[in-house]
């Protein structure tokens, strides 16, 4: 009787049949999510406010048109002179607040340029919005 040759050795095996389905669903999930996220695109619309609030502080209005005309308190100002003009207007005011009215076609960089000037002057700045009905 030869017991050594008839010995059945167990063979280890990992079943990967279900892994194919899991990998397919993960691939499908990441494809769908990646099409929904576009990091290079920023879509902005002008915000609208339902409730208007009155400010008790001195309000200084700064308007920037689509052709980059800067109007500070009704006076045209070049961008190069904007910081000095804002400093002159703000110097005598008690808790001044500048209300920014920017055209919706302007880029974010142009808004940030104006905000940087206000930050250097340590002035509170508020972005004006339009009412939802017009």
pLDDT in tens, 51-73: 655 545 677 888 888 888 898 88
Give the structural domain span for 94. Answer: 59-127
Question: Would residue 118 count as lying in a domain?
Answer: yes
Extended strands (E) in the chain: 59-64, 70-72, 75-77, 97-102, 124-127
Give 25's pLDDT tier (boundaries 50, 70, 90). Answer: very high
Question: Would residue 63 count as lying in a domain?
Answer: yes
Number of domains the chain is built from: 1
Give 27's pLDDT tier (boundaries 50, 70, 90). Answer: very high
pLDDT in tens, 80-129: 999 999 998 888 777 788 888 888 888 888 888 998 998 888 888 888 86
State the Cα–Cα distance between residues 54 and 58, nearest whole angstrom: 11
What does the pLDDT read at residue 42?
45
Question: Would residue 42 count as lying in a domain?
Answer: no
For residue 69, the domain's CATH number is 3.30.420.270
The pTM for the full model equals 0.54
Question: Would residue 54 count as lying in a domain?
Answer: no
């Amino acid at each position: 009787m030869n017991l050594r040759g008839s010995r059945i050795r167990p063979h280890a095996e990992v079943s990967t049949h279900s892994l194919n389905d899991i990998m397919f669903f993960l691939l499908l999930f990441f494809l769908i999510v990646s099409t929904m996220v576009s990091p290079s695109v920023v879509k902005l619309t002008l915000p609208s406010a339902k409730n208007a609030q009155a400010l008790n502080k001195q309000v200084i209005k700064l308007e920037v048109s689509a052709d980059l005309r800067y109007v500070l308190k009704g006076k045209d100002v070049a961008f190069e002179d904007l910081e000095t003009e804002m400093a002159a207007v703000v110097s005598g005011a008690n808790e001044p607040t500048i209300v920014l009215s920017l055209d919706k076609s302007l880029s974010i960089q142009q808004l940030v340029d104006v905000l940087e000037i206000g930050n250097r002057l340590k002035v509170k700045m508020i972005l004006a919005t339009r009412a939802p009905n017009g």
